[in-house]
Structure 1
Amino acid sequence: MRNRQLWKYDIGLFFDRRAEQGASMLFRLDRPLDIDPIGRTVIDVADMAEFVRRLSGVLHAAGVRSGDRVAVFKANHFDCVLLAAAASRIGAIPVMLSGLLPDDAVRALLRRAEPKLLVSDHQRLTREAEDGSTLSSFAEQTLCLDKEVPDALSLAEFDGAAEPAPVPRGNGELMMLTHTSGTTGVPKLIMYTPAKLQGQMARLECRHLPPITYRRDDSVAVFMPYVHARAFTWIYSVLTLSPAKVLLMSDSDPEVVQPLFREHPPTVIEALPIDYARLEELALDSRRNVFSSVRMFASTFDAVYWSTIRTFLNASRHRFPVWRYGYGQSETGGLGMTFITRRTANRRRDQKPGPRVVGRPMPTFVQIKVVDPQTFRPVPNGRPGLVFARTKARCVGYYREPERWNEKAVGEWWNTGDIGIKTRTGSVKLLDREVNHVPGMSCLELEDVLVDHLPERHDVALLAVSGGPPVPVVATPDGRLDRERWRRATRGLPELAEPIVVGFDEVPRTGTGKIRREELRRRYLDGAERPGTGRWT
């Protein structure tokens, strides 16, 4: 019984199992995997299984054994998933770190994880801190995937090593560590077991429920941070539902995306808000529009502006395109879902005021309640409070930070740190993160309205300040703002401070494209107090 359970959920054996079941899907890549010496841009499930077995031999030859931690910190691509599977296959615990993390955050996480092996690339391994140290000093051994780096092992010298026997993880054992977004500081390392990650988080989306899940004739394109837990639940669902074609994208550069989408028109796209922002120029240009075949857009990780949703739904030539908008957290998986139609999206934000509805709880799987931030007692429907969730998919802890976990885990309930409203019909409306919430208003809603009335490629982050109006940080392509356009955009809105204008590329972001508001506060507000406590970020 134990072996059968291990075979079912452990990511290290997952690709072998799917290959043996005869899965014959083809995956097209926007560039070859960094672990592939042949440089293929088309692979199948059997290739993935072979990659995992070969990489498990490499890791084993590099000294990794069951129970060791293997940190993966490299350029974003699907091989992050395969490296994690290879580590898990021999009983090691992959520690997945976004290649976009700032150096101070990476070093803090590596100190916490104490990896036996760090798998990275030349670009990241050769960066020096002010004291001259490199990341190699934070692991017993370092393995470089591309070029040679002093004091680091190379992938080439171990390629072809003997494949070790699998040592799969039990359903309740620690299988993987991934990190939170880190919008307010050093990210936390989330602890996942096979039962939580694959057995619960991936379970709901593995059902054939057209039109909200993949159909057999779909061509699916995904833009994703492949170190995130979402990548592992996603690949589980894809290989269960078997759409006709999958495009694995590592880059949302329009010049990369356009030719690939021309050749392989997608019918479903899942991407981060930052990816949609980069691709918006293609959707707005009728000559370059490659989204006409899309029937469903899906967004994860953060709120998407209403104007962006409208742009892409209008770019589709499908009769009834929809936008699937999910609400959840890394620690819990999906908590709710809603759908936005083209007709709804074409209403201006000022014609449909109010905070964004993020969906209803998953029936029989998730419960939501809204409580008073001081007493944790439930508040009546329609009143704002802290959003608490109860789900079987909740992860098992924060690695070596039990005190931060205990701040958010209240019995079986999970404190999301979000301020929201529960309606009489059970829908959840999201106002703000508690740390940035101003009573009586929603900064998220105001940001949405402002962006809807500003030119393309403008972004807005409102920073709440105790005793004063929120401070807008406005990011523009050239670092300049048309003040008359700003005046019109703010007409009829609650009072805002004078905007701080920066270039679009100057905005500090997390590995998933979220704005690091605390970093903006540190840069521009000179220690101004915020109204929220920040206890649950």
Structure 2
Amino acid sequence: MPAMKLWESSIGLLFDRRSEIGKPMDFHLSRPMDIDPEGRTLLDVAAMADVVRATAGALHEAGVRPGDRVVVYKENHFDCLLLAAAGVRVGAVPVMLSGLMDPDTVRPLLQRTEPRLLVSGRRLLEQRGSDGAALSEFSDRVLSLDGGIPEAISLTDVLGASAPPPVHRADDELMMLTHTSGTTGIPKLIMYTPEKLQGQMARLECRHLPPITFGRKDTVAMFLPYVHARSFTWIYSVLTLSPATVLLMSENDPETVGPMFLKHRPTSIEALPIDFLRMAELTRQGQGDAFASVRMFIGNFDAMHWSVIRAFLNASRHRFPVWREGYGQSETGGMGMTAITRRKANKRRDEMPGPRKVGRPMPGFVKLKVVDPQTFAPVPRGKPGIVLARTKARCVGYYKEPERWQEKAVGDWWNTGDIGVMTRTGALKLLDREVNYATGMSCLELEDTLVDRLPDGHDIALLPVPGSPPVPVVASPDGQLAKDVWETAVRGLPELAEPVVIGFKEMPRTGTGKILREQLRRQHLTGAGHPGHGRWT
């Protein structure tokens, strides 16, 4: 993509440019944004552009200048993305942190980035770390979106200031930082440039490829951690393909989702596995009509269990609904995709599902290969090994942690940390993360099977232990699991240890809903080793 086009389509100017095109598009919000003093739940593209400009003026008034780091750490909503756009517009580098992270995790990220401004809300700013320190101690200035914090700037005090002229940013210049999931410790901060985020990651999504992309008549619903890079590539595709209506969801509570979906009738829904798990209650409560118009469900971040996929596809009344599942990482963007039909999902009910197929690499964009974890020599098709990816979308590094980047960068190839198998036809099947991989089995496959056999509302994590059967941690709605139910579920499967049973809400998860397996190990497997070394997580 030429430099001028990248500059013109900068996230800081994106809403302005799309409003000039004039295609009508309505954004319905599940609740008002924290940066919108008018408290609206319906905005068009021009109104979104106004919010970005107003917020850019407020950030500038709060002292932000080109090159400064601005940390966005707030309750999840679409305004996280608009705050980032405003920061880019004034030449700053937004640092996007999930509001679900605790102070002891956020603190080292603040120390690493040395922000000029920390943007947050009262609830998060009043939290204290384990040593009693407030997060405000680790930023030059603090902007409280809802006031109430002594010595912090209140948003109402700086709104109304004029926005400065947009600051030009070179294609290879650092534009934004987002964090990894942090499943094994303090998250890494990924460095994005305009060329990588806009020129490569977003480019593929902006192509019109029916039926797996949006059309002008679609009503698109999105559930995301809006601090994640996925939200930025997604908004480029939305504003390029111009569906008529966009539903911006900040919560997955069925009492909010059900009425909104019945009113606006989405045709496409993208969400995290944890969101689909929560919304699945609607398919069991006789409120499946909320999904009657959906032709495409989109899953990202982690594979979704077959039982949940089946519930949503069966709830749709579209003639040929599909479940589109993407395979990718924050460092690389999308690497593969597969589509699951209703017929295929229902056929899997009584079968062992087999290793999770994530599709084929995207032609012209990505190459994948499977190699030996020790020698990195290619392995024959059908044999397991570490999955390496080569893509022009690969980001430029981990902020102030080059050694962690070099652990995963293998020349032009990227070590995904996944163990997979390449089929004879060139499709990739995933077995496990390397750190959890036990030779001769796939915990992901067994988890799929067990969740399918257990009653609705259960989730499971298998923790492999060298020399012993894997330990199942079962999360049930009430923290109970009848012995006969478990014995029926494991019948015919490889040997497993006795299950550890916890309540569903006790299952530890990251901000994107991934299960924190290391935390489960610390809680339930004191002293037990890993089957893998975990260098590439």
Partner of 1:187: 187
The equivalences for 1:61-460 within 5 A come to 61-287=61-287, 289-348=289-348, 351-460=351-460
Residue identity matched to 1:148: G
CA distance in 2, matches of 1:345, 1:489: 19
2:29 aligned with 1:39, yes or no? Answer: no
State the Cα distance separating 1:197 from its structure 2 match: 0.5
**Cα pair 1:23 1:239 within 8 Å, conserved:** no
Residue identity matched to 1:190: I
State the Cα distance separating 1:438 from its structure 2 match: 0.3
1:380-400, Cα deviation, whole Å (9 max, x unpaired): 000000000001111110000
Residue identity matched to 1:18: R
User: Secondary structure of 2:281's partner?
Assistant: helix
CA distance in 1, matches of 2:8, 2:370: 36
**Cα pair 1:292 1:317 within 8 Å, conserved:** yes
Residue identity matched to 1:54: A
**Cα pair 2:323 2:339 within 8 Å, conserved:** yes
1:216-253, Cα deviation, whole Å (9 max, x unpaired): 11111010110000000000000000011110000010
Instruction: Judge which range, 150-159 or 6-15, deviates more.
Output: 6-15
CA distance in 2, matches of 1:435, 1:341: 32
Assess, with a 3 A threshold, how the Cα gap between structure 1 residues 287 and 225 changes in structure 2: closer, same or farther.
closer
Partner of 1:533: 533
User: Secondary structure of 1:460's partner?
Assistant: strand
**Cα pair 1:370 1:420 within 8 Å, conserved:** yes
Residue identity matched to 2:308: T
Instruction: Judge which range, 215-224 or 145-154, deviates more.
Output: 145-154
Assess, with a 3 A threshold, how the Cα gap between structure 1 residues 168 and 483 changes in structure 2: closer, same or farther.
farther
**Cα pair 1:432 1:443 within 8 Å, conserved:** yes
User: Secondary structure of 1:202's partner?
Assistant: helix
User: Secondary structure of 1:347's partner?
Assistant: helix
**Cα pair 1:67 1:93 within 8 Å, conserved:** yes
Instruction: Judge which range, 98-107 or 443-452, deviates more.
Output: 98-107
CA distance in 1, matches of 2:341, 2:166: 47
User: Secondary structure of 1:450's partner?
Assistant: helix
**Cα pair 2:507 2:515 within 8 Å, conserved:** yes
CA distance in 1, matches of 2:33, 2:374: 49
Residue identity matched to 1:387: V
State the Cα distance separating 1:195 from its structure 2 match: 0.8
State the Cα distance separating 1:5 from its structure 2 match: 4.2
**Cα pair 1:419 1:432 within 8 Å, conserved:** yes
State the Cα distance separating 1:11 from its structure 2 match: 1.1
Assess, with a 3 A threshold, how the Cα gap between structure 1 residues 173 and 499 changes in structure 2: closer, same or farther.
same
CA distance in 2, matches of 1:353, 1:18: 44
**Cα pair 1:2 1:170 within 8 Å, conserved:** no
CA distance in 1, matches of 2:230, 2:64: 25
Residue identity matched to 1:327: Y
CA distance in 1, matches of 2:65, 2:453: 56
CA distance in 1, matches of 2:5, 2:348: 50
CA distance in 2, matches of 1:287, 1:173: 48
CA distance in 2, matches of 1:294, 1:190: 34
State the Cα distance separating 1:9 from its structure 2 match: 4.0
CA distance in 1, matches of 2:435, 2:101: 22
Moved over 3 A (4+): none
CA distance in 1, matches of 2:6, 2:286: 50
**TM-score with structure 1 length normalisation?**
0.98
**Cα pair 1:6 1:169 within 8 Å, conserved:** no
CA distance in 2, matches of 1:137, 1:420: 44
Residue identity matched to 1:216: R
**Cα pair 2:221 2:270 within 8 Å, conserved:** yes
CA distance in 2, matches of 1:361, 1:127: 43
State the Cα distance separating 1:168 from its structure 2 match: 2.5
State the Cα distance separating 1:10 from its structure 2 match: 2.0
**Cα pair 2:103 2:128 within 8 Å, conserved:** no
User: Secondary structure of 2:530's partner?
Assistant: coil
- Percent of matched pairs sharing the same residue: 68
CA distance in 2, matches of 1:287, 1:66: 50
User: Secondary structure of 1:289's partner?
Assistant: helix
CA distance in 2, matches of 1:228, 1:396: 17
State the Cα distance separating 1:349 from its structure 2 match: 5.2
Partner of 1:516: 516
Residue identity matched to 2:312: F
State the Cα distance separating 1:103 from its structure 2 match: 2.2
User: Secondary structure of 1:31's partner?
Assistant: coil
CA distance in 1, matches of 2:401, 2:9: 26
**Cα pair 1:10 1:171 within 8 Å, conserved:** no
Instruction: Judge which range, 349-358 or 122-131, deviates more.
Output: 349-358
**Cα pair 2:9 2:17 within 8 Å, conserved:** no
User: Secondary structure of 2:215's partner?
Assistant: coil
State the Cα distance separating 1:212 from its structure 2 match: 0.5
CA distance in 1, matches of 2:2, 2:303: 41
Alpha-carbon RMSD across the aligned residues, in angstroms, is: 1.2
1:349-408, Cα deviation, whole Å (9 max, x unpaired): 551441010110001110000000000000000000000000111111000000000000
CA distance in 1, matches of 2:137, 2:398: 24
Residue identity matched to 2:111: R
Assess, with a 3 A threshold, how the Cα gap between structure 1 residues 10 and 287 changes in structure 2: closer, same or farther.
closer
User: Secondary structure of 1:132's partner?
Assistant: coil
**Cα pair 1:284 1:315 within 8 Å, conserved:** no
CA distance in 1, matches of 2:179, 2:25: 30
Residue identity matched to 1:280: A
Residue identity matched to 1:496: L
Residue identity matched to 1:324: R
Gaps of 5+ in 2: none
Partner of 1:500: 500
Assess, with a 3 A threshold, how the Cα gap between structure 1 residues 322 and 2 changes in structure 2: closer, same or farther.
closer
Assess, with a 3 A threshold, how the Cα gap between structure 1 residues 2 and 372 changes in structure 2: closer, same or farther.
closer
User: Secondary structure of 2:289's partner?
Assistant: coil
Residue identity matched to 1:131: D
State the Cα distance separating 1:181 from its structure 2 match: 0.7
State the Cα distance separating 1:72 from its structure 2 match: 0.2
Partner of 2:21: 21
